[in-house]
Structure 1
Amino acid sequence: MPPPQEEQQQPHRPQGGRRPRPPPAPPPMAYSDDMVAFYDAWVGREEQIVADLTAALALPPRRQRDALAPLVDAAVDHVAAYYEHKARLADRDVVAALDPRWLNPLERTFLWAWGWKPALVFRFVEAGGGGGGMGPAQRRALEDLRAATAAAERGVDREVAAAQESLAGPRVLAALRRQAPRDGGEADDAVAEVGRSLRVLLGAADALRERTLRGVVGLLAPDQAGAFLAAMLRFHLGVRRAGRDWSPGHRGV
């Protein structure tokens, strides 16, 4: 007598024939809350960096160079850390990255392509006192960098305008109309494509900001770079404090 045929194992299904649902993704607000906590701590570190730079700039010239070199590197790395953390947020939730609620209203007035305008850093070369000691070759290189930055900004402006037009395109608008709020379904291909484009654009704008900062620092001597960075970061901290202390009932005169 032939052996009984083995029964084919059927995949287990819950009662009712429904497939188990995947675990819910963390709410987008959790990602944004993480950025808020990061930014608060980041600003605290920035205050210490400015204090260290200010103290080093007050040293005698012979001691100043050795003290400033690592502080300049630390300041540039500090700024880069912000862009790196924001990039991780954008990878998880690009919409949260495009809505920087960790910034106060006054900080938001300086936004260009979701961050500081790269050309703004050139103002702090003179403001920090480093511009006075620059030689002709330094000034020519700085002007070349300024021109290249302005051209790159115009390119980003065009990309931002194109992204805005894409958001108002018929395929995207039709997809948004079809989407029920909180339905948990996958976004329409058109919406997802715009999201990917925005993520790339945000990364390009932040890369330009960081590249411009590193370019300016690379053209300056340690004492000039220290004065430049101290002036730039001090300005940011002033904007941060003013925006934090600004009350809704305040009226300027």
Structure 2
Amino acid sequence: MASLDMAASSVGAEVDMGKFSFPRGQIENWGDSGVVVTSSRSTDASTDADTDDRNKAPIGAGQQGAIVSLDSSYASKGKTGDQKGLRRLAQNREAARKSRLRKKAYVQQLEISRLKLIQLEQELQRAQQQGIFIAGGLFGDHSYSTGGNGAMAFDMEYARWLDEHQRLINDLRSALNARVVDNELQLHVDALMTHYDEFFRLKSIGAKSDVFHMLSGMWTTPAERCFMWLGGFRSSELLKILASHLEPLTDQQLMGICNLQQSSQQAEDALSQGMEALQQSLSDTLASASLGASGGTDDVACYMGQMAIAMGKLGTLESFLRQADLLRQQTLRQMHRILTIRQAAHALLAISDYFSRLRALSSLWLARPRGS
């Protein structure tokens, strides 16, 4: 018994040491020895080892699960961050695009404002020149204030009228090029005819304020003033210009245009004769309105009476201007009635192009190089 206990004790010791290192020979001979180890120490060691393995397995699995969970969380956060970054980048690009468009529109608006300012400055200079001329006359500073402001107001209104007129002409030209139906083309033609009516209304207001400014044509370019008659164009001459742009015309249309031209010419001749008679009468009145050598009371009274007569005759200038504009307005309306809608559209374009070339000619003349 003692020998058996010693053997068991020895084997238990070897097993306990085997937790750290197992001799190769002993591991291989365990299956052949047939020895059953019943040591409580060995059993406890084995039980502890199993318990440790069981305890370690769940802990390892939990740690692995935690790592996988963290990786998934980081991946999800990474995807969310990428989406936010892409969205922010797209927003920045859109904001930059809108900023560029706003800047471009702002620059264009500045350029338009600059051109309008130059035009208004030119109109102001012409108005000031006309005002200075009036100021040097009989009526003094009060007339300069009234006439100058009236002329300046008309010049500014006329500049706006020209801008709107050019826009309507561009719309009409585009409609003709697009070959729109007659009903749509009629709208463009009617808009231009109404715009011409507005022009004559502005001139009527301007004549009440400063008839000399309107008759002299200071609101137009120098080249336009060369062909001016009673503060505007000659209707008969305008119909001659349009003749080559209105073909082909029917016999009835041709007769209507010829009759319109003859009647316009007769009305112009009558107004021209009336204007010449007014100028002669005014000249005679001014020639007789002079102070005598004595300068007495009777001479002064006679002088003031003659100047009052001259003032009354000057008042008829507004009537002549109004009749001349009425003739021009009626000629345009009659032309519109005689022609078809497309012929009228081409006629309005031809009229606008003619006056545009006159204005361009004036600009080229003023910009020409001067010789030494």
Question: TM (normalized to structure 2)?
Answer: 0.54
Residue 190 (structure 2) pairs with residue 73 (structure 1): yes
Partner of 1:241: 360
Percent identity, please: 23
Residue 137 and residue 85 in structure 1: after superposition, are their counterparts in 2 closer, same or farther (change >3 A)? Answer: same
Matched residue SS, 2:366: coil
Q: Distance in 2 between matches of 1:48 and 1:205?
A: 27
Distance 1:249 1:234, change over 3 A: closer
Structure 2 gap segments, 5+ residues each: 1-141, 293-303
**Equivalent residues in 2 for 1:72-151, closer than 5 Å:** 72-128=189-245, 130-132=246-248, 134-151=249-266
C-alpha distance in structure 2 between counterparts of 1:158 and 1:223, whole Å = 37
SS at match of 2:281: helix
SS at match of 1:215: helix
* C-alpha separation in 2, matches of 1:191 and 1:166: 9
Deviations 1:166-187 (A, max 9, x none): 2211x33455889xxxxxx999
Partner in structure 2 of residue 228 of structure 1:
347
Determine the C-alpha separation between the residues in 2 that align with 1:88 and 1:189: 24
Q: How many residues align?
A: 217
The reply on whether 1:167 has 2:282 as its aligned counterpart is: yes
Letter in 2 for 1:242: L
Question: Does structure 1 conserve the Cα–Cα contact (< 8 Å) formed by 2:146 and 2:209?
Answer: no
Q: Which moved more, 1:240-249 or 1:196-205?
A: 240-249
Query: Is the CA contact 1:127–1:228 (under 8 Å) kept in the aligned structure 2?
Result: no
Cα separation, partners in 2 of 1:219 and 1:27, compared to 1, 3 Å: same
Distance 2:291 2:322 in 1: 28
Post-superposition offset of 1:192 = 2.0
Residue 123 (structure 1) shift = 2.9
The TM-score with structure 1 as length reference comes to 0.77
1:94–1:198: 8 Å Cα contact kept in structure 2?
yes
Cα distance change on mapping 1:248 and 1:230 into 2, 3 Å? closer
Which of 157, 171, 195 does residue 38 from structure 1 map onto? 157
Deviation of 1:87 after TM superposition, in Å, equals 1.1
C-alpha RMSD over aligned residues:
2.5
Number of the residue aligned with 1:182: none
Deviates more, 1:225-234 or 1:89-98: 89-98
- Alpha-carbon separation, structure 2, partners of 1:47 and 1:186: 49
Equivalent residue for 2:181, pick from 64, 67, 84: 64
Q: Which runs of 4+ in 1 moved over 6 A?
A: none
Does the 8 A contact of 1:106 with 1:242 survive in 2?
yes
Q: Secondary structure at the match of 1:27?
A: helix
Instruction: State the shift of 1:224 in Å.
Output: 0.4
More helix by share: 2
Q: Distance in 1 between matches of 2:305 and 2:211?
A: 15
- Out of 191, 196, 199, the residue aligned to residue 310 of structure 2 is 191
| Secondary structure in 1 matching 2:181 | helix
